[in-house]
Amino acid sequence: MNMTLRQLTLFRAVAQHLSFTRAAAELCLTQPAVSIQIKQLEGHVGMPLFEQVGKRIFLTDAGRELYAACGDIFARLQALETSLNELQGSIKGQLKISVTTTAAYFAPLLFKAFSQRYPEVHFSLYVNNRNKVLERLGNNEDDLVIMGQVPEHLHVTAHPFLENPLVVLAPPLHPLVGESRIPLARLTQETILIREVGSGTRIAMNRCFAGHSLELPANMELGSSEAIKQAVMAKMGISVLSQYAVALELAAGTLKLLDVEDFPLKRHYYVAHLNEKKLSLVARTFLEFLLTNAQEVIPQVYQPTTSQKNQKQRPSRGGGQ
């Protein structure tokens, strides 16, 4: 077969989107140009690769076989490029990183700082909840992953590189705002908004409450930090989130920290990979960069001490001195 890499690139894009229009837009081509190349590819294969049902297109059996082969072909080409770069001692190429949703609030700052040193490194960033990131980690789909809770069921190498304080949040006019040393048991009387099962934040909250012989009230479950922030600001309840997820809202005064015993919960963000994984030169360089520079790259606006101290200095509503 005389198929070309260009044709396979176009075919992969169409197969991913199941749309000639979106594939053409992604590759900055016209739809007719993509259609012509796919027709030529089908001529080389000897069978149709797509079938149209109404206004939608689907892969044929031959198309699914070719799509699977494309995964192997392009992965091998990427591995070849990485190997050649390493032989040259060049810090360049693609770096695939998965991060949990809260890490996405600061990860671009790290990528920008790294790119300033190594402008020929191109990041591919995947953001999702902890369960999805763990799935990708187990399938070895990324060079490195960044998360706040190291998995116990996978054999991974994990390095802590940044503190991740979890804080209790409330809307500005909540009765507990301004109170000092609020007992954790007091929160059980409130509507607590929590992340989905498997979330690192929820795991930490469960452990904290269990350590005080308390059960975490599952009043309302929301699937993202953004959804929880909006719900707290809408006065639907209080919640616990990473300080990184709420830095802008705290600065603007749309959310307030509550001074609760045992909070902030001191956790860390980790950069991890499977134990057996052989890291590329680019991945090893980025890992070392995180371990030595993350604290300097993240600006002071994300540090929790200032806003917390300001709240603790205010007298409580009970008339204390």
- Whichever domain contains 24, its CATH number is 1.10.10.10
Q: What is the pLDDT of residues 58-73, one digit of tens each?
A: 999 999 999 999 888 8
Residues 274 and 253 in one domain: no
Q: What is the pLDDT of residues 103-118, one digit of tens each?
A: 888 999 999 999 999 9
**Angle, helices 281-297/61-88, rounded to nearest 10 degrees:** 80
Structural domain total, the chain: 3
Residues 152 and 285 in one domain: yes
Residues 108 and 43 in one domain: no
Instruction: Name residues whose C-beta falls within 8 Å of residue 286's C-beta, 6 or more positions apart in sequence.
Output: 95, 97, 114, 121, 143, 144
Give a yes or no: residue 246 inside a domain: yes
Give a yes or no: residue 321 inside a domain: no
Residues 69 and 118 in one domain: no
pLDDT recorded at residue 1: 67
Residues 308 and 188 in one domain: yes
pLDDT recorded at residue 262: 87
Give a yes or no: residue 320 inside a domain: no
Binned average pLDDT, 10 residues per bin, the chain of 321 residues: 86 92 90 92 91 90 92 81 70 87 89 91 89 90 90 89 92 94 92 86 89 84 89 94 90 93 89 90 92 81 43 38 32
Residues 298 and 158 in one domain: yes
Residues 197 and 185 in one domain: yes
pLDDT recorded at residue 229: 93
Residues 49 and 61 in one domain: yes
Q: How far apart (Å, rounded) are the C-alpha atoms in residues 267 and 92?
A: 32
Q: What is the pTM of this model?
A: 0.65
Q: How far apart (Å, rounded) are the C-alpha atoms in residues 321 and 311?
A: 14
In terms of residue numbers, what domain contains 218? 164-266+304-313
Residues 196 and 152 in one domain: no
Provide the β-strand partners of residue 170. 256
Q: How far apart (Å, rounded) are the C-alpha atoms in residues 229 and 238?
A: 9
Residues 260 and 176 in one domain: yes
Q: How far apart (Å, rounded) are the C-alpha atoms in residues 125 and 105?
A: 13
Give a yes or no: residue 318 inside a domain: no
pLDDT recorded at residue 90: 66
Q: Are 321 and 272 a contacting pair, CB within 8 Å?
A: no
The CATH number that applies at residue 193 is 3.40.190.10
